[in-house]
Amino acid sequence: MKARHKHIAAVALGALLIAGAAPAAGPAKPADQRAPLVLLDEERHIVLEEMRNFLAVLQTITDALTREDMKEIARAARSMGSGAANEIPPKTVAKLPEEFKVLAGGVHTTFDLMALDAESLADPKHTLTQMNELLQKCNACHGIYQIKVGKGGAVKAVR
């Protein structure tokens, strides 16, 4: 990085830090306003575990991309595709809103397509484009929902 660019980066970082430290204006709002999915503690655990698996597979795919190992990309993507064993029990799925299921389904079908294209096109740049689409889907859902632990939800808890 050139010295001038370093300076600009430092000023930008400083501005961000100051903005972060400034007290919030106006009346107090709940800190997290995303729609709550009310799940039992063990259900939250299952959903978050699936999330961490998503992230782990994205890391595997990124690593395979650096080696242009299209076979490994196809294998890893398929492990998260719609044909993969669904880890989330039906009782829990029943508590999730329709939109959540649509967004989650979109992630699985993008993994399906990534696996198919890695095999048929074997074009790393195309895989990277699909990775970007995938990450946009991750971000879209994260912007809408949070998980809260409780006994609410459409299905009565069995405890």
Distance CA 143, CA 137 (A): 10
- Judged by CB under 6 A, the residue of 93, 116, 122, 141 near ligand HEC is 141
* b/e sequence 110-119, b meaning 16+ C-beta within 10 Å: bbbebbebbe
- Judged by CB under 6 A, the residue of 60, 91, 137, 149 near ligand HEC is 137
- Judged by CB under 6 A, the residue of 100, 124, 150, 152 near ligand HEC is 100
Q: Does 104 bind ligand HEC (CB under 6 A)?
A: yes
The pattern of x and - marking residues 16 through 45 that bind ligand HEC according to CB under 6 A reads ---------------------x--------
Q: Does 116 bind ligand HEC (CB under 6 A)?
A: no
DSSP secondary structure of 13-67? HHHHHHHHHSPPPSS---S--SEEEEE-HHHHHHHHHHHHHHHHHHHHHHHHHHT
Q: Does 54 bind ligand HEC (CB under 6 A)?
A: yes
For residue 91, give the DSSP letter: H
Instruction: Name the residues that contact ligand HEC, by CB under 6 A.
Output: 37, 48, 51-52, 54-55, 58, 100, 103-104, 107, 134, 137-138, 141-142, 145-147
